[in-house]
Amino acid sequence: MALRFYNTLSQRVEEFHPARDNTVRLYTCGPTVYSYAHIGNFRTFTFVDILRRWLRASGFGLDHVMNITDVDDKIIRNAAAEKKTLRDYTAVYTQAFLDDCATLRLEVAEHLVKATDHIGDMADSIARLTAGQHTYTSEGSTYFRIASFPGYGKLSHNDFSGNLAGARVDVDEYEKSDARDFALWKAPKEGEFFWDSALGPGRPGWHIECSVMAIKYLGATLDIHAGGVDLVFPHHENEIAQSESLTGKPFSRFWLHAEFLMVEGQKMAKSLGNYFTLRDLIGRGYKPEVIRYLLASVPYRKSLNFTFDGLQAAQMAIERLRTFKLRLDTENLPEGGNEKMAARTESAAQAFTNSLDDDLNTAEALAAVFEYVRDANTFMDSDRFGAENRPAAQRLFERFDAIFDVLKPSGAIAGADEAEIEALVAEREAARKSRNFARADQIRDQLLSRGIALEDTKSGVRWKRK
């Protein structure tokens, strides 16, 4: 079966191929950099990372644009309160976002673009929308007239006919229920920061930045546009209205939306105060790959309930995989290969592929790997896993980790050296657990030769520099 995605636009699961030259033109809405992102935000960005990696594993090239929203009401307000320029204020949170992405092993988009680097492009596009009769001005601001776009509502599947007239909104936080004309260019309030443009002094609205940067870097029609489910309406609906009014072409062939990370029945959100940042969780001792595993483990179209028990379970799941991987790499296996084992590896690899092809069903892909680990352990225990079975099994784990990326331990302490030592210590622990004492001793000697002494204590192994 080929790769399929659920498309919010058609409300159906559709087979996916890029439109041109085997390259996927992908746009995903990025963070608003007014503060640290929370792990709810990172659930959506982790979904995007799994999407990227699976598209690549499926043989496609990637051309991916992600925007950084570095101007909006909150940013202007907070920067003014701290007496900072927008640039200085947002630079801190932009860097924090990039650092957090690296910590979570999230790949960086081919084009990571800032709204404030495209003010001129946005002003030009708004002028073109005006020439096409899609806008009107009021008190120095320019609004998009949604009644001028007949397809309005086609993504969110709302029928707005009859209530498209007149009412407008110019804040950055929108009501879900009603369709309103939205600001493309906002006149500054008293004392507020602004850019000068042919549209008068002001700054762009949030929606126009995505349309303009997507079209600029990827062309009129994207293969995939993705984001969190809260962006379907009005943000993505408005992006479609602007973009298709500008180009006359469909804006995106596929629309993918990730469901929320929840806390006790509610969406994790800054405004509800029920959030954790990545830094909060790492501060509590959770490893980045454990958080990554948890965020990736539930298919993106199902909401995911965040609990500390869930993190514990993720940690145990990773340990189980690492223990098996170590056994697979180091076990003294009988010569030759076992046909049944070879077939089992093949069926696990197939189940892994089928699950991710099925609209990125990560839960099933993980289940396929865990069932395989159970069976492979049984084969090894009874000497039916031969040396010739090893390479195919290792390839399965490579394919698994190219997507999930959780096997390599990251250090509890920052710094490459420490991370490497921690990884070796963990590997030695796992070797001892699986009674592979030769490998455990080998690691101890290797560390000793580099000046690292190990100490076995009741609470586990400690290491120190000699």
Residues in the chain: 466
Please choose, from the candidates 439, 419, 414, the residue with its C-alpha nearest in 3D space to the C-alpha of residue 429: 439
- The sign of the CA dihedral 32, 33, 39, 43 is positive
Name residues whose C-beta falls within 8 Å of residue 64's C-beta, 6 or more positions apart in sequence.
Answer: 24, 26, 27, 28, 52, 109, 110, 111
Per-residue binding letters, 195-234, with Zn ion (x by CB under 5 A): ---------------x------------------------
Residue 261 binds which entry of ligand AMP, Zn ion, none, CB below 5-8 Å type-dependent: ligand AMP
Interface with ligand AMP includes 292 (CB under 6 A)?
no
Contact at 8 Å (CB) between 155 and 232?
yes
The reply to whether 205 sits near ligand AMP by the rule CB under 6 A is: no
Partners of residue 444 on adjacent β-strands: none
Closest residue to ligand AMP, Cβ-based? 228
d(CA 278, CA 285): 11
* 31 forms part of the interface with ligand AMP (CB under 6 A): yes
Token pair for 113:
């673009």
Per-residue binding string, Zn ion, 344-383, x by CB under 5 A, is ----------------------------------------
Question: CA–CA separation, 449 vs 256, rounded Å?
Answer: 51
Nearest to 122 by CA among 186, 66, 168, 172: 186
Q: Does 328 bind Zn ion (CB under 5 A)?
A: no
- Between CA 18 and CA 41 the distance in angstroms is 27
- In our burial notation (b when 16+ CB lie closer than 10 A, e otherwise), range 102-130 reads ebbbbeebebbbbbbebbebbbebbbebb
Q: Please report whether residue 48 would count as binding ligand AMP according to CB under 6 A.
A: no
| Chosen residue from 215, 231, 360, 440 binding ligand AMP by CB under 6 A | 231
Residue 388: how many other CB atoms lie within 10 Å:
15
Scan residues 255-274 and list those touching ligand AMP (CB under 6 A). 258, 260-261, 267-269
Judged by CB under 6 A, the residue of 18, 40, 202, 386 near ligand AMP is 40
Give the one entry of ligand AMP, Zn ion, none that residue 44 binds, where binding means its C-beta sits below a cut-off of 5 to 8 angstroms depending on kind. Answer: ligand AMP
* 44 is a site residue for ligand AMP (CB under 6 A): yes
> 143 or 255: whose CB is closer to Zn ion?
255
Residue 130 half-sphere exposure toward CB, CA atoms < 13 A = 16
Q: Can you list the alpha helix ranges (DSSP code H) found in 1-65?
A: 39-57
Q: Which is nearer to ligand AMP, 230 or 375 (CB)?
A: 230
Q: Does 299 bind ligand AMP (CB under 6 A)?
A: no
Q: Per rule CB under 6 A, is residue 331 in the interface with ligand AMP?
A: no
Give the x/- contact pattern for Zn ion in 267-286, rule: CB under 5 A. Answer: --------------------
The entry of Zn ion, ligand AMP, none near residue 210 (CB within 5 to 8 angstroms by kind) is Zn ion
Partner touching 430 among ligand AMP, Zn ion, none, CB below 5 to 8 Å by kind: none
Pick 209 or 427: Cβ nearer Zn ion: 209
Q: Is 71 in the site for ligand AMP (CB under 6 A)?
A: no
CB closer to Zn ion out of 28 and 353: 28
Going by C-alpha positions, the residue among 274, 138, 275, 121 that lies closest to residue 198 is 121
400 binds ligand AMP per the rule CB under 6 A = no
Asked if 295 and 43 count as a contact pair (C-beta separation under 8 A), the reply is: yes
Examine residue 184 and tell whether it contacts Zn ion (CB under 5 A): no
Q: How far is the CB of 233 from Zn ion (least distance, A)?
A: 12
Among 3, 24, 26, 29, binds Zn ion (CB under 5 A): 29
Instruction: Please state the separation of Cα 390 from the chain's center in Å.
Output: 32
Question: Measured from the CB of residue 242, what is the shortest distance to Zn ion in angstroms?
Answer: 11
Asked if residues 252 and 210 have their Cβ atoms less than 8 Å apart, the reply is no
**DSSP secondary structure letter of residue 236:** I
Shortest Å, Cβ 210 to Zn ion: 3
What is the chain's alpha carbon radius of gyration, rounded to the nearest angstrom?
26
Under the rule (CB under 6 A), what is the footprint of ligand AMP? 29, 31-32, 40-41, 43-44, 227-228, 230-231, 258, 260-261, 267-269
